[in-house]
Amino acid sequence: MKDLVSLLKGGNKPSLLAALVNAFLGTLKGVAFFLTGNVAMFAEMMHSFGDAANQFFVFIGSALSKKAPSPRFPNGYGRVVNLVCLGAVLIVAILSYETIKEGLHHFLHPATESSGMYIALSVLAIGAFLELIVLNKAAKEVLHEVGVEGKGLAIFQSVRYLKRAKPATKLVWMEDLVATGGNVLAILAIVIAHFTGFYRLEGLVSIIIGLMMFYVVGRVFLDNARGAIGETDEEMLVHIGNLVMQDPNVADIARLEVIKEGEFLHVELVAETDSKLSLAYLDDVRDHLTELLLNQKGVTKVTMAFDEDDGERAWTHTATIPEGNKGRI
């Protein structure tokens, strides 16, 4: 039990916060939908409950992914978070379909009037405000994970670094961006429908919200499918390769792999050296390089071997330093 609690403490905090906020908002929107019958509110209720379930599973997965390697699973449990995200998006896909279906029905058969406009608007305004807070929290976490200092509203600054964020944080960022936009769209639909009588707009907005949810499903599915298979981190591969080549004892790199294991990076390296160097000396070189690489952002495992220099240069990448690793060389 203590081990489980310890693991949960290491779970992705933005995803837990987002799950709690969305569960509260889903309940609030459900009550508002029951009172008003507004289809845009129905779409937002489904969206919030879908996000809550999704983000809760992601929190659990991110916590379990930090479990220490075992003899049976020597590479650790890093990819668990990718598998959980793949399962979680199925929930969102189902709710996206229901949202679009309900919106299409309302578009083809619109209500003649929406009741409880002020209830709906109040709930949606609360939702937009809370989702914006969670989105900014996720944006700050993105910047923290890549080692960049956040300034002011972190949402816009985080867009640049989103690709390098951890899978759980990226999912929360994307879902809450869509959720914030969905709340704003629903507010506009209700106001415009009320003053123009064009109640089909509420159904149209419901369809748009459902399609936005499907977009998140597609992006998250592709990102985590690659992670579950085992994707190379190209930027870190070049950075680590150039870092190794700066060592005077390394003549070339015969093989280098930098594989994403969930939120972590595993490095496998075969370096070419002078055949005259003793094993004892090379052992010290390996210890130094291993310590250096483990100090790089996200690297948790390094496997290194040496081979005789064949006189032909294989490593030709130009130097690049990921922002989160500046100052670590």
The per-residue pLDDT for range 213-254, each reduced to its tens digit, is 888 888 878 877 877 777 787 888 888 988 898 999 998 898
Residue 286 confidence (pLDDT) above 50: yes
Q: Residue 114: which pLDDT band, with cuts at 50, 70 and 90?
A: low
Q: Where are the domains of the chain?
A: 2-229, 234-325
If DSSP codes are grouped into helix, strand and coil, which group holds residue 113?
A: coil
CA 248/CA 258 separation, integer angstroms: 22
CA 259/CA 61 separation, integer angstroms: 19
- Considering the segment(s) 2-229 as one domain, its CATH architecture is Up-down Bundle (1.20)
Residue 112 confidence (pLDDT) above 80: no
Task: Give the highest mean pLDDT range of 218-232, 261-275, 313-327.
Answer: 261-275
To the question of domain 234-325 being in CATH 3.30.70.1350, the answer is: yes
First to last CA, the chain: 40
User: Radius of gyration of the chain from Cα atoms?
Assistant: 25
Which residues touch 220 (CB under 8 Å, ≥6 apart)?
A: 85, 88, 89, 170, 171, 174
Phi, psi angle pair for 68, to nearest 5°: -65, 150
Q: Residue 329: which pLDDT band, with cuts at 50, 70 and 90?
A: very low
Task: Give the highest mean pLDDT range of 77-86, 102-111, 265-274.
Answer: 265-274
Residue 81 confidence (pLDDT) above 60: yes
Q: Which of 161-170, 245-254, 285-294 has the lowest mean pLDDT?
A: 161-170
Q: So what's the pLDDT on residue 326?
A: 47
